């Protein structure tokens, strides 16, 4: 999760630590900063090819797979979906195969009735409810869109008559 922060994956500290006041690219009477390594990082990252931090991201991904990683998901919206039609509801809402059984997690798009993308999210099939045996799903949606995503899920459940 560093792609939105230029210089985040930099292996040299000067690119990360030296931040100047925003210069508005010289607009509004502001002077453009000279010799600004942060701007240089931006220029290097604007590419259709592999960015300079490609190998750094690869090493991080490899470390996550082979060792351990901790991801901060506190800003995500989190929902539980359960009930007799929970599996049918996530199958209708999402474009990926969510029927992975308890313990399975799928990164997918949530779709609207026209098949267009509403958002991307993760859906985890968790253990069935101990009291009822009904399917349960844990949904993690982007923090900025989670209220809208929840409303979409609730509307689809209501419109389709899913018992969730």
What is the per-residue pLDDT for 93? 95
> Residue 41 in contact with residue 7, Cβ under 8 Å?
yes
> How many Å apart are CA 96 and CA 164, to the nearest integer?
20
What is the per-residue pLDDT for 147? 93
* CA nearest neighbour of 10 among 52, 61, 72, 50: 52
If one counts every other C-beta atom within 10 angstroms of the C-beta of residue 60, the result is 14
> How many Å apart are CA 7 and CA 33, to the nearest integer?
17
Estimate to the nearest angstrom the gap between the alpha carbon of 79 and the chain centroid: 15
What is the per-residue pLDDT for 66? 96
3-class secondary structure, 114: coil
- For every one of its 164 residues, what pLDDT tens digit does the chain have, with 9 covering 90 and above? 344 454 555 666 555 556 677 788 788 998 888 877 777 777 777 788 888 778 888 998 899 999 988 888 888 999 999 999 999 999 999 999 998 889 999 999 999 989 999 999 999 999 999 999 999 999 999 888 899 999 999 999 999 999 99
> How many Å apart are CA 120 and CA 136, to the nearest integer?
19
């Amino acid at each position: 999760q560093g792609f939105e922060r230029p210089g985040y994956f930099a292996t040299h500290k000067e690119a990360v630590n030296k931040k100047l006041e925003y210069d508005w690219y010289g607009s509004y009477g502001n002077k453009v900063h000279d010799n600004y390594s942060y701007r240089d990082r931006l220029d290097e990252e604007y590419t259709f090819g592999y960015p300079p931090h490609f190998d750094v991201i690869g090493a991080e991904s490899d470390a996550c797979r082979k060792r351990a990683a901790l991801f901060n998901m506190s800003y995500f919206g989190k929902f539980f979906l359960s009930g007799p039609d929970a599996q049918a509801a996530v199958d209708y809402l999402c474009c990926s195969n969510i029927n992975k059984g308890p313990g399975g997690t799928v990164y997918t798009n949530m779709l609207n009735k026209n098949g267009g993308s509403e958002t991307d999210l993760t859906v985890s099939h968790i253990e069935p409810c101990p009291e009822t045996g009904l399917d349960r799903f844990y949904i993690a949606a982007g923090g900025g869109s989670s209220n809208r995503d929840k409303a979409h899920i609730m509307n689809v459940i209501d419109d389709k008559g899913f018992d969730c």
